[in-house]
Structure 1
Amino acid sequence: MARAPRFATPARPALKPSRPWGWWLALAALAIALPLQLALADRARLAADPGWRPRLEWLCGWLGCALPPWREPGAFRVTSREVRPHPTAPGALLVTTSFRNDARWPQPWPQLEVALHDIDGRALGVRRFAPEEYLGAPPAAALIVPGQSVLATLEILDPGKRAVAFTFDFH
């Protein structure tokens, strides 16, 4: 069989020498970008973990993203408490308590739950109070810093002689 003339055959493009370092560079960039993207996408959940929070604070400081405030209601500690008859309102109790934020980070103001119990430990009444209620005004700052103490004052109806104990909880 006769060969076609040279001008009739399609020209083959010249092969460029391969650069394997370009593929490795792209692979390395993807290997860094994927965990970074996963951490940013799941930052609200990871920010609640004390081990991850410092890393995410650094990362968000570098990238300009925001983290939700630290929430650890169990880190609030009651430092003093008192329940006594209200001095000016008959049939009411005046409840005062002082609590402190023992968390490592600032956190939002908690809801304060007060429960009155009978002699058998059954709750006679439970109520949650917003910060505006136990402070008497909206908080001056959005967060309570670590080590900050707060004085809360509440006025509640007196449940009578059946109430022998009270507890405080934070939510």
Structure 2
Amino acid sequence: MYTQCPECLTVYKVEAELLVPACGCLRCSHCGSIFNALGTLAAQLPPEPFTRLADHALDRDPPVADVAVFRPRPPAAEPEQPVTMEPGDAVAGPDGDASAVGEDFSTLTFTPKFARTKRARSWRTAAWVSVCLLLVLGLGAQLAWAKRDSLITDPTVGPLLASGCNVLGCRLPLVAAPTQLRLLARDVEQHPSVPDGLLITASVHNDAGFAQPYPVVTIVLSDANGQRLAMRRFQPEDYMGDVGSRLRGLPAGATTAMVFEVQDPGQHAVAFAFSFE
């Protein structure tokens, strides 16, 4: 910014900090006169040649500062102190007269409006959160039931579900996996009590990491040329008489013996085969 001494017309370059100590007054270093630098204060010099800087009137009303960049927060209001009334104090009525002399209001309880609103809002919020949690749990239960076979057969989740059911006393649904049943041994012999019958025994191991239902077993008898002579499909109730065992299924890693009774197709039957469904 620039200002000019009114006596000797010397122009000075000044900063705002230089004008603060004496409220805008400066002493000219050339002629020694004291002058108000605000009267000719200019942001830029006019084009040369010039003799005097433009004068500013210093006797007008202060301008309004309307571009605010910061405003401090108002101080917090101090809470009003409760008024303590002794029994027997008079209470001024609407007309300024003392009334209700001798009445005791110390047992009255006043609930502020904001407290009632907050309590009602808290109750609604808790109810809404509870409903949302129930909906999420219900959705999770539906998804888990829809994907139960995948969860039970999963090597990580399946054992956890089985452990949880053992603690809670529940039972996981049985998942069929006939490809994980392994035939360990088999044998065919004449039926001890039926003349034209055969008794076929098989030892089956469950390689799966979960219990599965007893399978449907198909037995095929064939001759030396591979021609099929007889075939029968055995349901679990045909070879497993214990109802409790059938409901529990074949445990993970367990081995069971299966016994089948079939009719002897004659001397031509020299081979037989097992399959599980």
Distance in 2 separating the partners of 1:139 and 1:78: 23
Deviations 1:101-144 (A, max 9, x none): 11110111112211112223232222111222213x13433221
Q: Given the two structures, how large is their TM-score scaled by the length of structure 1?
A: 0.63
Structure 1 counterpart SS, 2:144: helix
Are residues 1:140 and 2:241 paired?
A: no
Q: Aligned residue pairs: how many? A: 138
**Is the 1:94–1:153 Cα contact (8 Å) retained in structure 2?**
yes
The answer for the alignment partner of 1:161 in structure 2 is: 267
Greater strand proportion: 1
Structure 2 counterpart SS, 1:144: coil
**Is the 1:48–1:71 Cα contact (8 Å) retained in structure 2?**
no
Deviations 1:13-70 (A, max 9, x none): xxxxxxxxxxxxxxxx9xxx6x958843641463476468549949x97xx9x96422
Of 185, 209, 226, which residue of structure 2 is paired with 1:80?
A: 185
Structure 2 counterpart SS, 1:46: helix
| Larger RCO: 1 or 2 (CA < 8 Å, sep 6+) | 1
Q: Given the two structures, how large is their TM-score scaled by the length of structure 2?
A: 0.41
Are residues 1:40 and 2:40 paired?
A: no
**Is the 2:149–2:175 Cα contact (8 Å) retained in structure 1?**
no
Distance in 2 separating the partners of 1:80 and 1:44: 32
Structure 2 counterpart SS, 1:107: coil
Greater Cα radius of gyration, structure 1 or 2? 2
**Is the 1:46–1:53 Cα contact (8 Å) retained in structure 2?**
no
**Is the 1:115–1:123 Cα contact (8 Å) retained in structure 2?**
yes
Structure 2 unaligned runs (5+)?
A: 1-131
Q: CA deviation at 1:95?
A: 0.8
Structure 1 counterpart SS, 2:253: coil
